[in-house]
Amino acid sequence: MPSGDLNVVDRVRQICVVFATRLVEEVRIGTDVRSINRLALLLRTVMIKFLRTQA
């Protein structure tokens, strides 16, 4: 299925999975804490904005 066929919910879910996977990988390899915090904050922001639009 081409990505253009995905609805918004599925697309946001994919984005969150990518960010979360990247976050876990960065923690695993011992990346600088500031970089990890920035990535976590970005993931949190995306999730909150999405949830607010769904309410």
Mean pLDDT by groups of 10 residues along the chain of 55 residues: 66 85 87 84 86 78
Distances from the Cα of 47 to the Cα of 2, 23, 25, 43, angstroms: 23, 14, 19, 6
Contact between 39 and 23 under an 8 Å Cβ cutoff? The reply is yes
Taking phi first (over 0 means left), then psi (-120 to 50 degrees means alpha), and beta for anything else, what does residue 32 get? beta
Q: What is the pLDDT of residue 5?
A: 57
DSSP string, 6-54: S-HHHHHHHHHHHHHHHHHHHHHHT--HHHHHHHHHHHHHHHHHHHHHH
Q: What is the pLDDT of residue 1?
A: 47
